[in-house]
Amino acid sequence: AQKVTQAQTEISVVEKEDVTLDCVYETRDTTYYLFWYKQPPSGELVFLIRRNSFDEQNEISGRYSWNFQKSTSSFNFTITASQVVDSAVYFCALSERGSQGNLIFGKGTKLSVKP
Amino acid sequence: GAGVSQTPSNKVTEKGKYVELRCDPISGHTALYWYRQSLGQGPEFLIYFQGTGAADDSGLPNDRFFAVRPEGSVSTLKIQRTERGDSAVYLCASSLTGLIQETQYFGPGTRLLVL
């Protein structure tokens, strides 16, 4: 069973649309951390956010926002007013004690923002 | 340099050959990770170093894969008797001390193609 599921393989939107990328995770640990990374066409993974299991406050950073809900084991990522530069593959990842902090990644969601 | 660097950026080899991939982590980071990313997939954990020692090598697929970090800084991933299935992007990441809450910073990767 996958520990991190990103059900959306590809999403295509038009510039200025809002878009939400879904992430569902599975863990037995009570202490764990969730991450989002962006992988633009250049290939390098860029860190976006980290969230610990004890903090369910939503976070906003500019056009980006994250919604963490332990009740549904989800950590969704919303981009408001998308731009062409947001086009990339986005990965959700889990770090848990059981895996000694090694990141467990989802398969990623490829976002295409068209002008 | 400020970030994680990896060399070479691309490597083409023939089936059965030996290859070495190098990673230079962020200065001062004691934790170093290797991941492998196949086309259309998320990165998958290979091995984790804490200082000079391999703290977790559970992700290495078989005994053809080996990694070292002799001085606790630069690491080399070694693949013997390469197979076409080894073709992938090999990513290196580092974090300050290896705690599960720490952000891992990734290098640009080495794209390996086995013909």
Per-residue pLDDT of chain A (115 residues; tens, 9 = 90+): 569 999 999 999 999 999 999 999 999 989 999 999 999 998 899 999 999 999 888 888 999 999 999 999 999 999 999 999 999 999 999 998 877 779 999 999 999 999 9
Q: A68 to each of A28, A58, B103, how far by Cα in Å?
A: 17, 6, 18
Whether B106 sits inside 8 A of A45 (CB atoms) is yes
Closest CA to B109 of A33, A87, A41, A86: A41
High-pLDDT (> 70) share of chain B, %: 99
pLDDT for B71-80, tens place per residue?
A: 999 999 999 9
DSSP 8-state code for residue B103: P
Alpha-carbon torsion, ordered B96, B42, B21, A99, to 10 deg: 50
Tell me, what's the pLDDT at A56?
Answer: 85
Neighboring chain A residues of B100 at a CB cutoff of 8 Å: 31-33, 95-97, 100-101
Contacts of B63 (CB under 8 A, 6+ apart): none
Neighboring chain B residues of A45 at a CB cutoff of 8 Å: 43, 91, 93, 106
Inform me whether the pLDDT recorded for B1 exceeds 70: no
Check if the beta carbon of residue A90 is closer than 8 Å to that of residue A35: no
pLDDT for B14-29, tens place per residue?
A: 999 999 999 999 999 9
Whether A107 sits inside 8 A of B103 (CB atoms) is no
Report d(CA B85, CA B78) in Å as an integer.
Answer: 15
- State in Å, rounded, how far the first CA of chain A is from the last one: 38
Tell me, what's the pLDDT at A58?
Answer: 87
Check if the beta carbon of residue B50 is closer than 8 Å to that of residue B115: no
A47 CB within 8 Å of a chain B CB:
yes
Neighboring chain A residues of B107 at a CB cutoff of 8 Å: 44
Tell me, what's the pLDDT at B5?
Answer: 96
Neighboring chain B residues of A50 at a CB cutoff of 8 Å: 101, 103
Whether B100 sits inside 8 A of A35 (CB atoms) is no
The burial of A4, by beta-carbon neighbours within 10 Å (0-12 exposed, 13-18 middle, 19 or more buried), is given as buried
A with B: how many residue pairs have Cβ under 8 Å apart? 69
Whether B45 sits inside 8 A of A107 (CB atoms) is no
